[in-house]
Structure 1
Amino acid sequence: MKYNFDEQVPREGTNSLKYDARLNFFGKEDVLPLWVADMDFKTPDFIINAIKERLNHEILGYTFRPDSYYEAIIHWMKERHGWTVEKEWISFSPGVVAGLTLAIETFSNPGDEVVVQPPVYFPFFDSVKSTGRQLLENPLTLVDGRYTFDLDDLERKITPKTKLLLLCNPQNPGGMVWTKGELTALASLCMKHKILIISDEIHSDLIFEGHKHIPLPTLSDEIAQNCVVCMAPSKTFNVAGLTTSFVIIPNKRHFARYERTLRIPHLHMGNIFGTVALEAAYKHGADWVDQLVVYLEENYRFLETWLKENLPQVVPMKPEATYLAWLDFSALVMADDELNSKLLEAGVGMNRGVQFGTGGAGYMRINLGCTRAMLQQALERMVVLKEEK
């Protein structure tokens, strides 16, 4: 089946965070929303149909996740990523950020240090600080237009209080697909210092041509015993509102500890439709994802070409994955507040780079999970920045 990603689906009036919260977030409603990371594409038919089928039974009482749910995850991991996962490794989370936060609470104590590698997905900072842990920043290094780890900096900063590292794999906002060599070096350093890695791999299905996602536990049995992986179908299939994620923990002792933390506030139950959607997605979604990734990569190429021809002062970092792009506005020599104001005046709403921490100044993150027509409209509005050079 050929899917149509050029169809613009009206989202106003649906309590959409991306659309209906524009006034609160940007101070005005008449902006093209290219910020929060959900896509404007229809949730695929095989997921909607599975939910409709479940609605034919008119009781929505307590349920549990059936074997077929776990089998769908196991099959997807094997087919898409070459990773053999055991059912006994799979736990639940109502969201990847929730899983990260639960893991922080499980595997560290207040006052402990948690490593983050900015610029990075900004909820990482909140998860660390809100749980009473201390941020230990290990900024990424920019080499030939691509971020990489600064392991020398990390080793210098590690103290006896450093207990966890939050890894973004693939990276958000830069879109890096970390290589085997990069991941192995990072994981080896963490094992040397007894630092557990919590790996956010939510964008792992959205990998561009020429790159391959490497789930952290596949590097070695030893590394698998020293990591917790958070994943979900939410970004891949545009079902974030169903708050259904999963956590894969090969280490039996770590798994038991996480499960206890999850169950204390009774967060382990999940919801009926999230379970149904995940199972349908991972059973039937391969073709849809393949077509989606092609469209997203074409959106990036359109963005890159348009900027080069019309606004060369703005330089995109070439993503290797995700539907996000990291735009460098530094050549315009504008303060971040001024840059944001100019874009909002032009009617374009993106995420400010400073949200992503150290190294984010002068950048903006744009969401490419939209129709080509909307992307073109946003870019044409940005021409006003030419006058600021």
Structure 2
Amino acid sequence: MTQPFDFDQIVDRHGSDSLKWGIYPPEILPMWVADMDFTSPPEVLTALHQRIDHGVFGYALATQKVTDSVVNWLQQRYDWTIDPQWLVWLPGLVPALHAACLSYTEADQEVVTFSPVYPPFLSAPKTCQRPHRDIPLTRDHGRYTFDLQRFDDQLTDKSRLLLLCHPHNPVGRAFEKQELTALAEQCIKHNLIICSDEIHCDLVLNHTRHIPFACLSEEIAQRTVTLMSAAKTFNIAGLNCGFAIIPNPTLRRQFNHAAQGMIPHPNALGYTATQAAFTQAEPWRQALLEYLRGNRDYLLKEINQRLPMLTMEPVEATYLAWINVSALEDYRPAFFEQAGLGFSAGEPFGDNRFMRLNFGCPRSTLEEAMLRLEQAISPR
């Protein structure tokens, strides 16, 4: 069947306002920040044009239509029935990690994370002046998972908030129900509140369905703040629109109190794009997933067969590959930049043996990256 969307199209982002492309000189291929090089769905673009034609861009609030789009999306995708009153709209999810730290912990109470992990999970507790306990993920049959024995052993009566990345960035796991259930039991045992960042929930590549942490049980729902957005899936991160789902009214009130004056409303175009994405762009999303699976499979083969000094495991979710580069003599970011590649260094994620590569790009871009990488690490 003919591909209805052209993900092979090269969009020149040089000289634009792109953070991804703007921090490097033209000779470096940027494959770092979680920002795809695809145009957004045509339905989203049409909706944005219509909104722009209105011509007035004052302060915006969520309309009933955009709220309904979220409620219906969660029902259709995850069989999750939510009350619209549970929604707290956000301009992004990173500020929400900070708000959660301030909302649910006192100055002497710990914030817990699993690492390696998206850097704001590690920096938010520090910024909020909260103690931080880092529990490394463990490996089980070549896959990262929670080290629940260590989790149980190391938590104290001062441990209060778990910042959970689910699906996981950067290791690419789509956690299974038994893993999540076992973690939930420990959270209940230790009386933790969970802030679950699920921004990549609609980018599961292994043909399974994401399980929102709050859907595990009513008891878990009452202690969970879920963070979601259309931003990553539909490549609209620059429009700054996301939301928290907080069923517990006390937790919701605490969150709103911490966010007041610190976290602004999303902008008008962000609401518009979110509504269009969730109501009209599912065919585009399905086509995107197939393209990303092809990119993932290509990258997995190239890394593990052609570049034996590197290792990569299958990516179950996200468009981010976590690649072990520790066999290289010099695997600092400068090494790859000299080869014309801009990757994310592993150190800010909590493991400097790795680099993160964004494969949300046209295949030709990925092929060029692999050519440069091979030339860089091949024996001279």
* 2:357 equivalent in structure 1: 366
Deviations 1:178-221 (A, max 9, x none): 11111111111111111101000000000113322100111111
SS of structure 1 residue aligned to 2:284: helix
Deviations 1:203-259 (A, max 9, x none): 000011332210011111111001100110110011111111100011111112212
Residues 1:20 and 2:22 are matched in the alignment: yes
Residues 1:104 and 2:104 are matched in the alignment: no
Whole-Å separation in 1 of the counterparts to 2:134 and 2:304: 33
* 1:310 equivalent in structure 2: 306
* 1:376 equivalent in structure 2: 367
* 1:192 equivalent in structure 2: 189
Q: CA deviation at 1:366?
A: 0.3
List alignment gaps of at least 5 residues for structure 2.
none
Alignment of 1:169-208 (within 5 A): 169-208=166-205
Q: CA deviation at 1:385?
A: 4.2
Alignment of 1:206-225 (within 5 A): 206-225=203-222
Of stretches 301-310 and 319-328 in structure 1, the one that deviates more from structure 2 is 301-310
List alignment gaps of at least 5 residues for structure 1.
23-27
Deviations 1:257-298 (A, max 9, x none): 212222233x35321111111111100111111110110110
Deviations 1:138-186 (A, max 9, x none): 1000222210100111111111211101100000111101111111111
SS of structure 1 residue aligned to 2:157: coil
Q: CA deviation at 1:336?
A: 3.9
* 1:284 equivalent in structure 2: 280
Residues 1:43 and 2:40 are matched in the alignment: yes
Whole-Å separation in 2 of the counterparts to 1:388 and 1:194: 54
Deviations 1:117-140 (A, max 9, x none): 111111111111100011101100
SS of structure 1 residue aligned to 2:144: strand
Amino acid at match of 2:112: V
1:5 to 7, 15, 18: 7
TM-score normalised by L of structure 2: 0.96
Amino acid at match of 2:374: V
Whole-Å separation in 1 of the counterparts to 2:64 and 2:264: 16
Q: CA deviation at 1:80?
A: 1.5
Over 6 Å off, 4+ runs: none
Alignment of 1:1-389 (within 5 A): 2-22=4-24, 28-265=25-262, 267-332=263-328, 334-337=329-332, 340-357=333-350, 360-387=351-378
Alignment CA distance shift 1:383-1:109 (3 Å):
same
Of stretches 29-38 and 301-310 in structure 1, the one that deviates more from structure 2 is 301-310
Q: CA deviation at 1:13?
A: 1.5
Q: How many aligned residue pairs are there?
A: 378
Q: CA deviation at 1:29?
A: 4.4
Of stretches 209-218 and 116-125 in structure 1, the one that deviates more from structure 2 is 209-218
Whole-Å separation in 2 of the counterparts to 1:345 and 1:304: 23
Amino acid at match of 2:347: V
Alignment CA distance shift 1:106-1:290 (3 Å):
same
Whole-Å separation in 1 of the counterparts to 2:53 and 2:334: 49
Indicate if the aligned counterparts of 2:14 and 2:26 stay in contact, CA closer than 8 A: no
Indicate if the aligned counterparts of 2:43 and 2:276 stay in contact, CA closer than 8 A: yes
Provide the aligned C-alpha RMSD in A. Answer: 1.5
Whole-Å separation in 2 of the counterparts to 1:63 and 1:367: 32
TM-score normalised by L of structure 1: 0.94
Indicate if the aligned counterparts of 1:211 and 1:320 stay in contact, CA closer than 8 A: no
Amino acid at match of 2:302: W
Q: CA deviation at 1:58?
A: 1.9
Whole-Å separation in 1 of the counterparts to 2:179 and 2:306: 35
Whole-Å separation in 2 of the counterparts to 1:240 and 1:299: 21
Amino acid at match of 1:380: L
Amino acid at match of 2:34: A
SS of structure 2 residue aligned to 1:6: coil
Aligned-pair identity (%): 38
Indicate if the aligned counterparts of 1:92 and 1:268 stay in contact, CA closer than 8 A: no
